[in-house]
Amino acid sequence: MDAGEEIAVLISRVALRDRTAFSALYTATAPKLFSVCLRILKDRTEAEDALQEVFVKVWQRADRFAAIGTSPMGWLVAIARNHAIDILRARRPLADSIEEEGRSLPDSSPDPEVATVVKGEGRRIDRCMEELESDRASAVRSAYVEGLTYQELAERHGVPLNTMRTWLRRSLLKLRECLDR
């Protein structure tokens, strides 16, 4: 049995409220999920707290995991990612105006060489985004630029949650293919 199958079995057992399976799931996945939280939150203490909350959600939602066609680690990472993004949104104060928001940004202009490289990469990404259907491209931008959750995207586009997950997964695969050319 590979690692993905083992994690899927543990999640299924957690759905049945098996504390031993929950402990084993934590041991097997906590380092990866912690790194996801830390990468997004950029604060170790906050990431540790977020990880605890993520595992509370896993305990509560394990019965919603569908092992057929869903990556168990992907499901867990999505929970961690979405939770960390929710924490970011909650701690970020809303600016009273666009001008106030602009004043609070530090001047971090990259040197010309870095700017040229970034611009070139941006053009490549834009070219590849144009190859996607417009609704898929919009969903990708909203998810990875605006930080919208799968649920928010599904509601915005009027599609079921699993359809949105499929859109994003397939779109990212197409983008990767395009960028690898």
Show the domains of the chain with their CATH numbers.
3-91 (1.10.1740.10), 111-180 (1.10.10.10)
Q: What is the pLDDT of residues 105-123, one digit of tens each?
A: 665 666 666 666 566 677 7
Contact (CB, 8 A) for 11 and 72:
yes
Q: Which of 90, 29, 91 is nearest to 59 (CA)?
A: 29
* pLDDT band, very low/low/confident/very high, at 25 (cuts 50, 70, 90): very high
Whole-number pLDDT of residue 179? 77
pTM above 0.75, yes or no: no
Q: How far apart are CA 34 and CA 145, in angstroms?
A: 22
Q: What is the pLDDT of residues 64-93, one digit of tens each?
A: 887 656 789 989 999 999 999 999 888 766
Cα dihedral: 131, 160, 80, 137 (round 10): 10
